[in-house]
């Protein structure tokens, strides 16, 4: 659906495809590398009953496509919200204070729970990514926070099913010895920040490439 609506004359997200795919390539490669290592270490894995059986880098092809399709749909959502809503941003004081507090909490939690691989890398990656984007692109972050809060709704539905809600077994399983063991329904708490980093990296790099091409100028919040 986002692909079709990209051509809507009031949206024109098709004009952003080049920037998306160029930015998505290195981000997807990073997460596929991370995913492959964690799969081989049995920190998480995939139920063969729910995948087609085609694997790359120890990952089912469905998982590879995840790193393209989910960022595309999410950045399409971000583009639509920015295009159609005039006041789609956070107040500066909320943006700055909230970001610094969240960065500190994630960083401290990563250190405290460094023996749990998923917790360590999910929290540390989110903290570092968030802090860098806050330093160099506050306008993007102001929009991104609000977009992410919105897409958490489908996130909980889809990820809930993938982790076993309403189905027999689960599509993706997790080794709880490598995470906090806190589940939101069937979803590991760390998944929120794993997804946050994935989407924020895509959005930030897409802005960098767009600015580099002279298609956009940085603005203040």
In tens digits, the chain (221 residues) has pLDDT values of 677 657 667 777 888 889 999 999 999 999 999 999 999 999 999 999 999 999 998 999 999 999 999 999 999 999 888 888 777 778 889 999 999 999 999 999 999 999 999 999 999 999 999 999 999 999 999 999 999 999 999 999 999 999 999 998 899 999 999 999 999 999 999 999 999 999 999 999 999 998 876 655 444 33
Who contacts 189 (Cβ-Cβ below 8 Å, separation ≥6)? 179, 180, 182, 183
The two three-digit tokens of residue 176, written as one number: 């709880």
Q: Are 119 and 180 in contact (CB under 8 A)?
A: yes
Helix, strand, coil percentages, rounded to 5, for the chain: 70, 5, 25
For residue 60, list its beta bridge partners: 55
Distance CA 57, CA 55 (A): 7
Distance CA 207, CA 33 (A): 23
Q: Are 13 and 6 in contact (CB under 8 A)?
A: yes
Q: HSE (CB half, 13 Å, CA atoms) of 198?
A: 23
Tally of CB atoms within 10 A around 153: 9
Q: Which helix (H) or strand (E) holds 45?
A: strand 44-46
Q: Residue 14: what pLDDT?
A: 82
pTM for the full predicted model: 0.91
Name the pairing type of β-strands 172-174 and 55-56.
Answer: unpaired
Q: Which helix (H) or strand (E) holds 159?
A: helix 138-162
Distance CA 163, CA 159 (A): 6
């Amino acid at each position: 659906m986002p692909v079709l609506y990209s051509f809507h004359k009031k949206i024109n997200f098709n004009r952003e495809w080049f920037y998306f795919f160029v930015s998505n390539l290195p981000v997807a490669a990073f997460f596929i590398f991370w995913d492959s290592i964690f799969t081989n270490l049995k920190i998480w894995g995939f139920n063969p009953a729910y995948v087609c059986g085609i694997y790359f880098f120890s990952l089912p092809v469905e998982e590879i496509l995840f790193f393209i399709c989910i960022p595309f749909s999410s950045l399409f959502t971000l583009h639509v919200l920015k295009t159609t809503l005039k006041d789609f941003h956070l107040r500066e004081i909320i943006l700055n204070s909230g970001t610094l507090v969240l960065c500190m909490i994630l960083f401290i939690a990563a250190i405290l729970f460094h023996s749990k691989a998923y917790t360590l890398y999910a929290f540390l990656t989110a903290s570092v990514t968030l802090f860098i984007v806050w330093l160099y692109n506050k306008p993007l972050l102001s929009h991104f926070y609000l977009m992410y809060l919105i897409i958490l709704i489908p996130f909980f539905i889809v990820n809930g099913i993938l982790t076993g809600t309403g189905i027999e077994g689960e599509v993706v399983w997790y080794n709880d010895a490598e995470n906090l063991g806190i589940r939101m329904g069937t979803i590991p708490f760390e998944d929120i920040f794993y997804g946050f980093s994935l989407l924020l990296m895509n959005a930030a790099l897409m802005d960098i490439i767009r600015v580099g091409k002279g298609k956009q100028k940085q603005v203040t919040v």
